[in-house]
Amino acid sequence: MSGLFITFEGPEGSGKSTHSNELAERLRSMGYEVLKAREPGGTPTGEAIREILQHDSVGEPIVRETEILLFAASRAQLVQRVIKPALARGCVVICDRFADSTTAYQGYGRDFDVERVLNLNEWATDGLAPDATLLMDLDVGIGFERIHQRNLALDQGEDRFEREARAFHERVRQGYLVLAERWPERFHVIQSEASVDAVSTEVWRVVEPLLSAVGGGRPADED
């Protein structure tokens, strides 16, 4: 039995976590076995790396080569320990970011050679690619306004990537769009400035046809 691997990608504030969580809950309510993961993270090793990459837990500047290798290390652990076993038992795996994030952020955002990044991703994932990637596209300015409001509500500061200059995030967004053009059979670009309900409808339009390859669920209720 083989499962279904879905990833959510996009710039900061684009709603990846909101919609990946919502999709996971919808599928569970339909009887599917769902594994929800995030990157970096998803394993004890990955969560330790996440603290370094996002929250400056080691207290020193991270050079771009170290940054990309840490992301690759977290991903390799997640793939081998979590994602591949779940897919082997027929699970729907939903991941909040995956290898495309490294290509967009470290390749395009940090101006690292993109083909080298792609080769590193191929090695770290052992060749595993998502069945579908939902790219939540959003204007950078709107995304940062959302982040600002979220951080105010949670009384928390910006993480390491949120503190990057706007030009960095513009390069990341454009990098994602280049990747979507390069692999149109896998990428589905969703305009996430729309309402939550409208975006959820579009996410479901993409995902529902893919479920025929996965056992264990039941048909969705008609709207």
Question: Can you give the pLDDT at residue 57?
Answer: 85
Low-confidence ranges of the chain (pLDDT < 50): 1, 222-223
H or E element that contains 132: strand 132-137
The pTM for the full model equals 0.93
Question: Can you give the pLDDT at residue 222?
Answer: 42
Question: Can you give the pLDDT at residue 215?
Answer: 72
Question: Can you give the pLDDT at residue 223?
Answer: 40
What DSSP string runs through 17-53? HHHHHHHHHHHHHTT--EEEEESS-SSHHHHHHHHHH
Question: Can you give the pLDDT at residue 221?
Answer: 54
Which fold, 4-213? Answer: Rossmann fold (3.40.50)
Distance, in Å, from the CA atom of 83 to the CA atom of 61, rounded to the nearest integer, reads 31
How do the domains of the chain map onto residue ranges? 4-213
Question: Can you give the pLDDT at residue 26?
Answer: 98
Torsion of CA 113, 114, 117, 121, to 10 degrees: -170
